[in-house]
Amino acid sequence: MHLIWTIIIGFVAGLIAKALTPGAGPGGFFLTAALGIAGSLAATYIGQALGLYPPGHAAGFIASIIGAIVLLLGYHLFTRNRVN
């Protein structure tokens, strides 16, 4: 059940990260959701493994948003030089 909540929180974190990240960003719903979920999973498990916060702590949600923002910025850097 913890993984399901992490995915749901990741989806919300992806939407918030897209709203906070400058630029057009990935336009697709599924790409935004995937980046948010990946950022959430990474931030949740890395933060807990480092002992920064326990499971279910509010810092995990904030870290999920930061993780999604980092992934979105990485996506911007990776795709900005592509010719459309």
Q: Confidence class of residue 1 from pLDDT cuts 50, 70 and 90? A: low
Mean per-residue pLDDT over the chain, rounded: 77
- Average pLDDT of the segment spanning 26-52: 78
pLDDT at 78: 80
Could you give the count of Cα atoms lying within 13 Å of 72 in the half-sphere of its Cβ? 29
Q: Confidence class of residue 27 from pLDDT cuts 50, 70 and 90? A: low
Domain ranges of the chain: 2-79
Place of tokens 């030089």: 81
Q: Confidence class of residue 23 from pLDDT cuts 50, 70 and 90? A: low
Q: What does the pLDDT look like over 40-80, one tens digit per residue?
A: 778 878 888 888 888 777 777 788 888 888 888 888 788 77
Contact present, 39 and 15 (Cβ < 8 Å): no
Least Cα distance to 39 among 8, 3, 63, 21 occurs for: 63
